[in-house]
Chains A and B, each alone.
Chain A
Amino acid sequence: MVEGGLSWHAMRMDAVQFERALATHQRMVFSIALHSLRDRTLAEDVTQDVFMALLQHGAEVDSDEHLVYWLRRVTTRRCIDQLRRQRWRRWLPLMESDAVEVATQNASGSDPLLSGRLERTLRGLAPIERVALVLRYQEDLDAAEIGKVLGLSSDAVNKHLRRALAQMKVRLSGAARPQSAQAACRPQD
């Protein structure tokens, strides 16, 4: 509890429920935001924004499943909005190492080179594709569930996922080709 206690509006979510929701789902919300935006500071801001929205509209949420669905939906919407805004406004984060840090931390236990390439490829994807990939591989949702969260049909989600993976495959193989070509051209001892 915060000092002085929380003051609640009649339409707002109950304080205990809110704290429980924060403790249980903050990790999920933060991770969706972090992996979609690839920026720790922005992810923190989005997480705060989502929970503030929950505080305002949480009274509408009637079950745990509904809460998870609501949080995923609002988080992905905020992320898509943020990514669309970033498209028009290219800027460097204040903490320049933030983006690199995300990749390096996640790369533990996997090929860091591949993770770095994936990171760069992810940045080239459309916002909706990035978010769909995060819901697929972080939250392990199927196309129908992703569609429900994003307000799309299963076919549309499958199309986005296929396109994103194909794009990643092309870019990764494109990046790998010069190396293999170099290796082939290298004179053998």
Chain B
Amino acid sequence: MSDDFQTQDQMIEGALRTLFRPEDAPTALSKRILASAAKPAPRRRTPMLGMAGVAVAAAALITASVVHEHRVELRQEQLAGERLAYALQLTTQDLNWAEQKVNQDLAVGPGKPEER
């Protein structure tokens, strides 16, 4: 039984050695590799381009956020101005009404309040 297993092991190992026999690479592959090697470091250029792209994108993002913040501040200032103007308008109306009332009272003169 163990002899059978040993024979089977040997058979598999033998078949694997045959299956994994080293093979020559195609001639075209050497040419391809040498041609690729002759190019001026293409693999270095790609990361540099990528990094430049990331830097440009980051700069654009920062600029956009600064511009946006500036716009928001301007809008807030504008709104604050509008609120102030409205408040002043209300105050002016109140003051006008009060002045008018006082003038009316003065015109009527001293008397009973219910006569007014």
A residues bordering B, Cβ < 8 Å? 1-2, 4-7, 9, 12, 18-19, 22-23, 26-31, 34-35, 44, 47-48, 51-52, 55-56, 103, 105-107, 109-111, 114-115, 118-119, 133-134, 137-138, 165, 168-169, 172-173
Contacts and interface: CB of A to CB of B under 8 A. Distances in A.
Chain A binding surface, main DSSP class: helix
B19 A106 contact: yes
Given A2-B34, A9-B41, A26-B30, A31 B12 contact: no
Interface in B1-44: 8-9, 11-26, 29-38, 40-41, 43-44
A19 B43 CA distance: 19
B37 A30 contact: no
B80 to A, nearest CB: 58
Interface residues of B, number: 32
Given A165-B9, A169-B12, A173-B8, A4 B38 contact: yes
Contacts of B14: 110
Contacts of A111: 15
Given A26-B30, A55-B37, A109-B18, A172 B12 contact: yes
A118 B29 contact: no
Interface in B60-93: none
Contacts of B41: 9, 12
Contact of B20 (A2, A12, A47, A138): A138
B25 A30 contact: yes
A145 B36 CA distance: 32
Nearest to A110: B18
Contacts of B30: 22-23, 26
